[in-house]
Structure formats: structure tokens, C-alpha cells
Structure 1
Amino acid sequence: MPAILFSPLVKWTLAAMGGAMVVQWAVKEARRINDELEAQRRVRVRVTDREARPTLRRDPATGEYRL
């Protein structure tokens, strides 16, 4: 039974269509991820009161920084 032979033009066309589908999927995923990150960035609360913000202080005995 002979194998089905496609012309090179059909092979290249199928490869180009597959590549376009992969690129389209990658762009859609990148946009979805960026939208999620943007939403998280908007929700994040920023501390504006510098006095209420905890600071690190060096422990003279160990040399480590602690709250």
C-alpha cells in the first residue's frame, strides 16, 4: 500500500498554519498573564505612613538585622 504523498507546498502550508496557531496561543496566554499581574498590582496596598513601617535594626551581639 503506497504512502500518501503531499506536495511540498501543502506541507509548508500546514506547517505555517500550525506555527500561526502556536503564536496566536502564546500571545493570548501572555496577555492573560499580564492582565492577572496588573490586577494584582492594582490590589496591592502601599504603606504611606513611614513611622508605622517596621524597620530593621542591627543586633550588636550577633550582627544580624532584626525587626
Structure 2
Amino acid sequence: MDYRWRCQDARGRDVPGDETHFATQTDAESWLRDVWQDLLGSGVDRVTLLHGEAEVYGPMSLHPAS
């Protein structure tokens, strides 16, 4: 099984886009650390990490904490 991010808008609707798959959770988290601002700019509000179809954690907001 692989890891991937489910991206959603502020209303909880899935945001379509390139669905990148990762071999490890660490790889998925490193990728998100690099691209979260791009995702936010493209309309993604929150993400959920999936392992196969099971939720690992999330939804997690991409907005910086104030």
C-alpha cells in the first residue's frame, strides 16, 4: 500500500489535481512540507494523509496558525 494526500477545499469537497503517491509516510510528509503553500494558493484548504484508503491523520488545515 502507498501513501497519498486527499486535498479538500474549505467546504470539504475534494480538490482534483495530480495525485502523487509515496512509498512511505515520511516521503509524503516531506513532499507536503515543500508544497503546502502552492496547494493553499490553488484552493486547497486542508489535507488528509491516507495509507491505501485508511486515514492516517487529518483533515489538517494548511492555513498558518495565528
* Higher helix content, 1 or 2: 1
Q: Which has the larger radius of gyration?
A: 1
Report which of the two has the higher share of strand: 2
Normalised by the shorter chain, which TM-score bucket? under 0.3
Higher relative contact order, structure no. (Cα contacts within 8 Å, ≥ 6 residues apart): 2
TM-score, length of structure 2 as denominator length: 0.21
